[in-house]
Structure 1
Amino acid sequence: MTATQQAVRHPLDPLTGAEIARVRAVLAEAGRVGDSIRFPCVLLLEPPKDEVRAHRAGAPFSRRAQAVLLDTATGAAAEAVVDLVAGAVASWHDLDTATHPYGQPAVLLAEYDRCADLVRADPRWQAAMRRRGVEDWSLAFVAPLSPGFFDDPAERDRRVLRALTFLRHHEEDSPWAHPVEGLIADVDLISGAVLRLEDSGDVPIPAEHGNVDAAAVGPARGTLRPIEITQPDGVSFRVDGTEVAWENWRFRVGFNAREGLTLHQISFTEAGEERPVVYRASAPEMVVPYGDPTPWRHWISYFDAGEYLLGKNANSLRLGCDCLGVIHYFDGVVADDNGDPLTIPQVVCLHEEDHGVLWKHTNILTGASEVRRSRRLVVSFFTTIGNYDYGFFWYFYLDGTIELEAKATGVVFCGAAEPGTDSPHAAEIAPGLLAPVHQHLFCARLDMEVGGVRNTVEEVDLVGLPIGADNPHGNAFTSKTTVLRRESEAARLADPSAARTWLVRSTDSRNRLGRRRAYQLVPRPGPTLLAQPEATVTARARFATRHLWVTRYDEWERFPAGDYPNQHAGGAGLPAWTAADRDLVDTDVVLWHVFGPTHLPRPEDWPVMPVDYSGFLLRPVGFCDRNPALDLPDGTASCRHCPPGDCHCAH
């Protein structure tokens, strides 16, 4: 199917190209846009929930956008809110980047090239390359990276990128295979000064290539036979603008420069009653902290949404490669560095896929068997941040379950060492190529609306009972439920030994048994942030120290590490919000769930890493009155190749 870019018809529709152009025009008319002004980010400011819920098709609605502006001549930064209906600047706020806790807007795409050009022109860098025997550095790749925060006086009130160097042997060569160890440069992007250049060590530059194209890998195997996915009668979902309806599910698809894919007003219908489940779902931040204490890598702790923007770096997806089957695509529109609209074609993929058996039972008395196959609706996008590629896949199942699966792939980040070097903090994955240990810690934001606005969160553990009058034989176990009443009680760790989950219960909706309808967050926990409490990355990524946070809804609490994690001292976001210790019972609650792999690299991850999967489930618990997938058709009855009810052809 073709991609869609609809006119604005609903308050939650993403910003269009015309609206982004209008944001820039309004600010220019107000005298806020000069030759040196750039736009790190432009985002939709979603209307208040009451306005959204009250909206009816065809009725007018408010429309606002938030623009972050950066003066590349002076370093001054500001936030502006533009009223798109009135065509006016609704508010203007200068950002104080010179005072603790500092913070900078996200990195501009043009700043990567500016940083690289400044480093390559520096005589000290050129001398360092010559010392390594590199006289022609036309193919050198200077990789600018966010510098973290270490309260360095030389970096205060400066917009800084920290650059490492890699080599290529030819134009198409992968630079990540050839790190220039011990060479690092700090660049002031505003003044254009190379603040510091460190050159230490004479480690050989690894020579083995890391290319994965057909020419480098060789002939593809010919043993795999085709698998064809066809839907001869078309798809089962319907798309109307940004609204998607599929079986019992209904939701809206959004996209923005920072988070990428967002989902809105997710509801599930049972027995003709449509009930809300999640008001808004997204993955608004992730941090990638490295565990190597060497001077060249101890500072690496990327905030891929807040520093680099997941949506602005998203991929255009290709049929047959990124997506398989009968596909509906959505285009995405973001603002480029100049504040002009930039369309990313086919950025979000929507399709159905088979998912094995959903339920089955064979009657042992009669031999009669009933089985129904599972199917899921997939909504996904991919983004590339430097060497890593991340896919975010939201799955909707016929039994009322929602799943988010994050897929980490791409090229592991490496340094160099003498071949055969052992390190407790890195693994040699190719001769002389060391990949440091690191983590990918995603944070999902789940603005819940289970059966209505008022919800309460409960923590549920499975516990064994001691032998006694209530458990004379020692076999009994039960569940223990703890209500998370305040934000101070709701920063939680998962506990696999107790099969810990969290229930979001409705205050206002009950099932046929008289119980409060609920949805259950089922984690697949790994380690939280492994950096020490005193580490600067811990202060900046405090959200990653817990698997779950629960907050009372506030429209401005959008990003778990705060609005500007780039060069920020820390403390913003979840730790600051939860210090208010707001009441969480029978109110509008937001769940923030941290998950993701801790990566101990291995040779099998080179030269490209097989997908590492992580994620979680949201599944109904008493939200429905019975199995909502009982009425699925018998697959044998729909086979086109065999007699009705007598399918033996595996179709």
Structure 2
Amino acid sequence: MSSCCHPRPTPPTGPAHPHPLDPLSAEEITEARRILEKAGMVHDTTRFPLVLLDEPERHTAAAHRPGDPVVRRLRVTLLDTATGTAAEAVVDVTAQVLLAHRELDPATDGQPQLTFEEQGAVDAIVKTDPGWRTAMAARGITDEAMELAICAPLAAGCTPDARPDRRLVRSLTWLRCDASDNPWAHPVGGLVADVDVTERRVVRLVDTGAVPVPAECGRYAPEFTGPARTDLRPLEITQPEGPSFRLDGPLLTWQNWSFRVDFNAREGLVLHRIAHRDGDRERSVLHRASLAEMAVAYGEPDPSRNWVAFLDAGEYGLGTNANALRLGCDCLGEIRYLDAVVADDLGMPQTLPNAVCIHEEDHGLLWKHTDIFADEAVESRRSRRLVVSFIATVGNYDYGFYWYFHQDGTIAFEAKSTGIVQTSAVEPGAGSPFGTEVAPGLLAPYHQHLFCVRLDAAVDGPANTVEEVDVVPLPDGPGNPNGNAFTTRTTVLADSAQGGRLADPAVGRRWRITNPAVRNRMGQPVAYTLVPQPGPPVLARPGSPVARRMAYGTKHVWVTRHRPDRRHPAGEHPNQHPGGAGLPEWTAGGESLRETELTVWHTFGPTHLPRLEEWPVMPVDATGFALKPTGFFDRNPALDLP
């Protein structure tokens, strides 16, 4: 163990009482399955693509006090692998009753997310298909090489000719020199297999023609990359008295911050009831915060690749793909890890060890001033921030998701993309207008990462309003005689039809979440401001399958009335969904957004033009945003730091 790793955890004291927003327990998952079995809804071929807490109304959660009774309900998605039929159920594990059940119509509801069992079956199904083997042999690939191939299980999206009731996975093929080789270095071009995972067979093979398979390996393990550097001396991060945060079960307190830590199979890390102590007042900021969806959409027009676009939360599950984090590698310093409990494909509880990492880290200078009129008297304070994070691996990419809490009242979020870029094959040296040739004949296609966070606003209470704020110059004239003046222009987002907004760096656009009923000492509404780091919205053409399914990515900010069933920006079941679900439905117009319960959905992320320096493994690419107090406090809240 490295000297900079401190494995002793901060032991939680344990919750004094259960809370309606506690993470799911193994016992609750087991009980939900038992209730469904008793109701005759579980058979040998039944699988559980998703089991989630049916979160209580925010008023119920806000009104809860220690010792109050707690009612726990679970939302369960069921899949019959023999027929492909699917259903949703709501189970009350407190009263031990089935509350609701309905079958899903795949034509309108979409399909449940992929199970690990289905993903694991695709490789063998494709490799036994005669058409695939013939296409591979025509490319000069031997039987032995075929057995070392990787036939990846990729979400199929929604193509015009696909039957909606057919549960499909699309598969591209990559080769390996041996079992330890990096398959992403050797894509088989022009070949895609459509697999019906219910019938367990290839139902369509698309072959647009052979392209030479890139031969150069892309190994990145130490034994293949030369001797390691020897000029790095130990960097020790120590907190001899332990960290400054405290865990009481899922309740985390640090400095003036408090919130509840949750984790679910779809979104991964979820934070509830985020509040900041201001003197003797506990002031709410957000009711709920999570990464609700993320898309990865590729830009190649070739028929064998023009469908490649994934919704990683809704099609694969970010939580179920969480890493077991390791000291000294994923996290550094005085760490507290939290395990997570999710349901496996059979609806049984599964513990994901070390799924969540909590630690403090130095963040440089917080504030400083040198008084040049008082013998250069100096006051400065060091910044420290609390980090709550998890890492998920979905296919070729690894994603780190980090919530940051600062001592000045700022909340920030960062998504870090790493892993290996997805690849396709081109004629060596030919290049492509749709990607970067990172090795001879190996193309890393251009693509977009479109992250979407869900922020259930609660700025000093539930009755909030969102304002769009631009910085604009004044026109020349008597009011601006020297041409230097600029001011702000504020647009109140009053109706749901105004809910979808684009960022504009030219005017410094940001969005202010206010509470008009609560005023600061200057008489202005208290507020938090969302400060974006905008990139291009979804670049697929309007009306295309990608743009329809990833419609949330067409705007940087959406504001909707909060509703308990408005959980996911691309809809409940985006797998094979034709598109248009979620945010486009909720922003049709006619709902007032003034002084009410709101959800702010923020879409951000890089349009990735891969570089040679990102092969064979990609350095972290970070993106995110900040929520900054704006008249929420009456003065700098970090004046009392030692």
State if a TM-score over 0.5 links the two structures. yes
1:448 and 1:292 mapped to 2: Cα distance? 38
Indicate if the aligned counterparts of 1:304 and 1:310 stay in contact, CA closer than 8 A.
yes
2:437 and 2:460 mapped to 1: Cα distance? 52
Partner of 1:453: 462
In structure 2, list runs of 5 or more residues that go unmatched: 1-7
How far is the alpha carbon of 1:422 from its aligned partner? 2.1
2:543 and 2:56 mapped to 1: Cα distance? 39
Partner of 1:465: 474
Q: Which amino acid aligns with 2:130?
A: P
Partner of 1:324: 332
Q: Does 1:104 align with 2:108?
A: no
Q: Does 1:298 align with 2:298?
A: no
How far is the alpha carbon of 1:428 from its aligned partner? 0.1
C-alpha offsets along residues 314-341 of structure 1, whole Å, 9 cap, x if unaligned? 1010010000000011111111100001
Partner of 2:237: 229
Partner of 1:352: 360
Q: Does 1:502 align with 2:511?
A: yes
Q: 1:566 to 1:3 in 2, by over 3 A?
A: farther
Indicate if the aligned counterparts of 2:474 and 2:486 stay in contact, CA closer than 8 A.
yes
Partner of 2:128: 121
Partner of 1:642: none
Q: Does 1:251 align with 2:238?
A: no
Indicate if the aligned counterparts of 1:517 and 1:621 stay in contact, CA closer than 8 A.
yes
Q: Which amino acid aligns with 2:211?
A: V
Partner of 1:575: 584
C-alpha offsets along residues 66-102 of structure 1, whole Å, 9 cap, x if unaligned? 00000000111000000010111110011011x3x35
1:371 and 1:56 mapped to 2: Cα distance? 40
SS at match of 1:466: coil
Alignment of 1:240-319 (within 5 A): 240-319=248-327
TM-score under structure 1 length normalisation: 0.95
SS at match of 2:263: strand
Partner of 1:547: 556
1:78 and 1:552 mapped to 2: Cα distance? 27
Indicate if the aligned counterparts of 2:495 and 2:589 stay in contact, CA closer than 8 A.
no
Alignment of 1:600-611 (within 5 A): 600-611=609-620
C-alpha offsets along residues 396-436 of structure 1, whole Å, 9 cap, x if unaligned? 00000000000011100001112101211111001110011
Q: Which amino acid aligns with 1:176?
A: W
Q: How many residues get paired?
A: 630
Partner of 2:393: 384
Indicate if the aligned counterparts of 2:412 and 2:625 stay in contact, CA closer than 8 A.
yes
Alignment of 1:533-544 (within 5 A): 533-544=542-553
1:3 and 1:441 mapped to 2: Cα distance? 35
Cα RMSD (Å) of the superposition?
1.3
Partner of 2:443: 434
How far is the alpha carbon of 1:215 from its aligned partner? 1.2
How far is the alpha carbon of 1:200 from its aligned partner? 3.6
Q: Does 1:68 align with 2:77?
A: yes
Q: Which amino acid aligns with 1:103?
A: G
Q: 1:57 to 1:317 in 2, by over 3 A?
A: same
Q: 2:186 aligns with which of 171, 178, 184?
A: 178
How far is the alpha carbon of 1:476 from its aligned partner? 0.7
How far is the alpha carbon of 1:138 from its aligned partner? 2.1
Partner of 1:342: 350
1:53 and 1:273 mapped to 2: Cα distance? 15
Partner of 1:198: 206
SS at match of 2:362: strand
Sequence identity percentage: 56
Q: Which amino acid aligns with 1:629?
A: A
1:4 and 1:433 mapped to 2: Cα distance? 49
How far is the alpha carbon of 1:4 from its aligned partner? 7.6
SS at match of 2:121: helix
2:293 and 2:322 mapped to 1: Cα distance? 15
Indicate if the aligned counterparts of 1:158 and 1:188 stay in contact, CA closer than 8 A.
yes
SS at match of 2:506: helix
SS at match of 2:44: coil
C-alpha offsets along residues 436-477 of structure 1, whole Å, 9 cap, x if unaligned? 110000000000000111011101100000111211111111
SS at match of 1:530: coil
1:380 and 1:197 mapped to 2: Cα distance? 41
Partner of 1:238: 246
Q: 1:38 aligns with which of 47, 52, 58?
A: 47
C-alpha offsets along residues 204-229 of structure 1, whole Å, 9 cap, x if unaligned? 21121122111111221111111110
Partner of 1:649: none
C-alpha offsets along residues 345-392 of structure 1, whole Å, 9 cap, x if unaligned? 010000000000000000112111111110000000000000001111
Indicate if the aligned counterparts of 2:381 and 2:641 stay in contact, CA closer than 8 A.
yes
2:614 and 2:155 mapped to 1: Cα distance? 24
Indicate if the aligned counterparts of 1:452 and 1:507 stay in contact, CA closer than 8 A.
no
1:102 and 1:363 mapped to 2: Cα distance? 64
1:598 and 1:538 mapped to 2: Cα distance? 15
Indicate if the aligned counterparts of 1:4 and 1:330 stay in contact, CA closer than 8 A.
no
How far is the alpha carbon of 1:3 from its aligned partner? 8.4
Partner of 2:4: none
Q: Answer with 583-592 or 44-53: which moved more.
A: 44-53
Indicate if the aligned counterparts of 1:4 and 1:329 stay in contact, CA closer than 8 A.
no
1:226 and 1:421 mapped to 2: Cα distance? 45
Q: 1:3 to 1:336 in 2, by over 3 A?
A: farther
Indicate if the aligned counterparts of 1:176 and 1:414 stay in contact, CA closer than 8 A.
yes
1:177 and 1:346 mapped to 2: Cα distance? 31
Q: Which amino acid aligns with 2:487?
A: T
Indicate if the aligned counterparts of 1:3 and 1:331 stay in contact, CA closer than 8 A.
no
Q: Which amino acid aligns with 1:162?
A: R
1:446 and 1:412 mapped to 2: Cα distance? 30
Q: Which amino acid aligns with 2:613?
A: E
TM-score under structure 2 length normalisation: 0.96
2:160 and 2:306 mapped to 1: Cα distance? 15
How far is the alpha carbon of 1:105 from its aligned partner? 0.3
C-alpha offsets along residues 491-537 of structure 1, whole Å, 9 cap, x if unaligned? 10001010011101113322222221100000000100011102111
Partner of 1:645: none
Q: Which amino acid aligns with 2:362?
A: D
Partner of 2:452: 443
SS at match of 1:581: coil
How far is the alpha carbon of 1:580 from its aligned partner? 4.5
SS at match of 1:181: strand
